[in-house]
């Protein structure tokens, strides 16, 4: 197969175009099903007596708030929509405070008497997910309360005009159920003017990395890790910061309101099998040893050695690998990617803060899966030799504790974070919702199906 030159010739940096906004958002499958919370099964074993007393007091407040909510729900004739929503906000605020106490209690109990990794995750995962779900619904209620009240009044008035019999109990609650689901699901999508488009995004990635200028045909595309041209449908514009994460929360942790998801420098061009292993945390991309250079030299590291024999492509497709000691193996495997430098076609590189964030996510997933042989080297070596102030420290630490149950070790964060916040509550909310999306990305994402992305991605 003939292909353009692979030389890293200098080229003029093309303008970065905004591609629209991500539709990824934090939404529960059914955000209206809020029952009076109880301590999750077996969780008391992870809590101290002092925390158990605090939790019982918090649960009593949840019961009280839910009783007030019940009055507003059953007595629709005496309640207006604004009063109803105020009671709903009070109820969910108590629920949120309760789940936060459960989370803190589990972590404190684990600090005093460590649980096994499996036990810790079994306690933490449902609590973090419920906390994020409650937070997302509260944010919508508070930000859209006036419009939502107007809609509820209209719905109940229309029902009363149509019915000649008695009014059913819970009329406002029924109208609320119908209205809130769409609002929670659309809240993040409305942050952008247009939905995320995979095809357009890939075109921008190709442009910014010089792929468009150097390929001989649209049938081919470049893989930065393998350093080869392949059929375009085999190459993906691989997101570094996952699309499943909320734009607002990402803006908070990066300290920049810019749309991270649609930034072409939040991607690299990868063979689809390599993209899969990046998403799974099997591999990470880190700076080459030594001081940062300009442009930066990046390399691929294999973290999960258990995936080492997974097949990437035919070895004959990658000429420099065809001459390695493993040339008897007809396939390039994951293990062959370890310590392999990335090959770029111009001087543009992914943003360091995005790769650092992906690195942290991979580390946290390693801790969740109890991969000691993977996580220990990450904790003891300096993979990021130059400080950057990439992420908001408080939000990062909350996210890390919620995902893995442990503190981030100093070598991973030293010199890499900034700390400036006028809103600690927002730090906490962003950390919790990012953690929930990392733990359960399918629950907190409205991304297009894989089939739709494959169709949009072809021949770009």
Give Dmax (Cα) for the chain: 85
pLDDT of residue 407: 84
CA–CA distance, 242 with 245 (Å, rounded to integer):
6
Most confident of 5-9, 10-14, 105-109, 172-176: 105-109
CA–CA distance, 357 with 354 (Å, rounded to integer):
5
Asked which of 322-326, 339-343, 388-392 is least confident by mean pLDDT, the reply is: 322-326
More confident position, 90 or 114: 90
φ, ψ of residue 311 in degrees (nearest 5)? -85, 135
Beta-carbon contacts of residue 295 (< 8 Å; ≥ 6 apart): 344, 347, 348, 349
pTM reported for the whole predicted model: 0.74
Percent of the chain with pLDDT over 90: 25
Mean pLDDT of 53-72: 80
Mean pLDDT of 52-56: 81
Angle ∠(255,258,259) on CA atoms, nearest 5: 120
109 and 94 Cβ atoms separated by less than 8 Å: no
Mean pLDDT of 148-168: 67
pLDDT of residue 343: 97
Question: What are the pLDDT digits (tens) for 70-87?
Answer: 766 655 444 577 888 888
pLDDT above 80: residue 175: no
pLDDT of residue 179: 67
Mean pLDDT, all residues of the chain: 77
Mean pLDDT of 380-387: 64
Rg (CA), the chain: 25
Mean pLDDT of 389-406: 89
For residue 19, name the pLDDT band (cuts at 50, 70, 90).
very low
pLDDT of residue 168: 52
Residue 192: closest CA among 4, 25, 322, 354:
25
Mean pLDDT of 357-361: 91
Q: Looking at the DSSP assignment, which residues form a beta bridge with residue 392?
A: 418
pLDDT above 60: residue 2: no
Asked which of 19-33, 210-224, 409-423, 438-452 is least confident by mean pLDDT, the reply is: 19-33
Mean pLDDT of 305-330: 79
153 and 171 Cβ atoms separated by less than 8 Å: no
pLDDT of residue 191: 44
Residue whose tokens read 């209209």:
154
pLDDT of residue 341: 95
pLDDT of residue 275: 96
Give the per-residue SS3 of the chain.
CCCCCCCCCCCCCCCCCCCCCCCCCCCCCCCCCCCCCCCCCCHHHHCCHHHHHHHHHHHHHHHHHHHHHHHHHHCCCCCCHHHHHHHHHHHHHHHHHHHHHHHHHHHHHHHHCCCCHHHHHHHHHHHHHHHHHHHHHHHHHHHCHHHHHHHHHHHHHHHHHHCCCCCCCCHHHHHHHHHHHHHHHHCCHHHCCCCCCHHHHHHHHHHHCCHHHHCCCCCEEEECCCCEEEEHHHEEEEECCCCCCCHHHHHHHHCCCCCCCCCHHHEEEEEHHHHHHHHCCCEEEEECCCCCCCCCCEEEEECCHHHCCCEEEEHHHCCCHHHCCCCCCCEEEHHHHCCEECCCCCCCCCCHHHHHHHHHHHHHHHHHCCCHHHHHHHHHCCCCCCCCCCEEHHHHHHHHHHHHCCCCCHHHHCCCEECCCCCHHHHHHHHHHHHHHHHCCCCCCCCCCHHHHHHHHCCC
pLDDT above 50: residue 146: yes
pLDDT above 70: residue 208: yes
């Amino acid at each position: 197969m003939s292909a353009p030159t692979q030389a890293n010739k200098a080229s003029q940096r093309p303008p970065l175009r905004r591609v629209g906004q991500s539709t990824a958002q934090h939404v529960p499958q059914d955000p209206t099903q809020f029952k009076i919370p109880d301590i999750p099964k077996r969780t008391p074993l992870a809590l101290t007596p002092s925390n158990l007393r605090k939790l019982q007091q918090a649960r009593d407040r949840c019961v009280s708030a839910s009783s007030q909510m019940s009055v507003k729900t059953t007595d629709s004739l005496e309640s207006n929509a604004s009063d109803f929503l105020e009671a709903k906000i009070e109820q969910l605020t108590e629920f949120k405070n309760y789940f936060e106490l459960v989370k803190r209690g589990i972590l404190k109990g684990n600090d005093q008497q460590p649980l096994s990794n499996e036990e810790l995750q079994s306690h933490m995962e449902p609590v973090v997910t419920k906390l994020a779900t409650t937070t997302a619904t509260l944010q919508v209620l508070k930000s859209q309360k006036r419009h939502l009240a107007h809609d509820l009044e209209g719905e109940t008035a229309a029902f009363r005009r149509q019915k000649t019999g008695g009014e059913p109990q819970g009329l406002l609650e029924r109208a609320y159920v119908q209205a809130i689901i769409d609002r929670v699901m659309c809240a993040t999508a409305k942050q952008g003017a247009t939905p995320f488009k995979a095809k357009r995004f890939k075109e921008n990635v190709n442009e910014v990395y010089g792929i468009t200028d150097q390929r001989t045909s649209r049938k081919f595309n470049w893989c930065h890790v393998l350093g080869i041209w392949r059929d375009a449908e085999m190459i993906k514009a691989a997101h570094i910061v996952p699309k499943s994460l909320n734009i607002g929360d990402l803006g908070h942790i990066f300290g920049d309101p810019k749309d991270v998801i649609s930034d072409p420098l939040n991607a690299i061009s990868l063979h689809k099998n390599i993209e899969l292993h990046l998403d799974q945390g099997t591999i990470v991309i880190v700076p080459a040893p030594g001081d940062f250079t300009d442009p930066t030299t990046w390399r691929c590291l294999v973290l999960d050695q258990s995936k080492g024999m997974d097949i990437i492509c035919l070895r004959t497709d990658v000429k420099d690998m065809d001459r390695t000691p493993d040339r008897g193996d007809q396939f390039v495997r994951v293990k062959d990617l370890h310590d392999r430098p990335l090959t770029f076609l111009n001087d543009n590189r992914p943003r360091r803060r995005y790769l650092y964030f992906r690195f942290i996510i991979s580390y946290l997933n390693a801790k969740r899966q109890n991969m000691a042989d993977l996580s220990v080297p990450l904790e003891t070596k300096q993979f990021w030799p130059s400080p950057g102030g990439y992420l908001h420290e408080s939000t990062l630490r909350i996210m890390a504790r919620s995902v893995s149950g442990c503190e981030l070790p100093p070598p991973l964060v030293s010199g890499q974070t900034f700390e400036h916040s006028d809103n600690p509550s927002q730090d906490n909310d962003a950390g919790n919702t990012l953690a929930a999306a990392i733990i359960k990305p399918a629950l907190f994402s409205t991304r297009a199906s894989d089939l739709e992305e494959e169709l949009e991605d072809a021949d770009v």
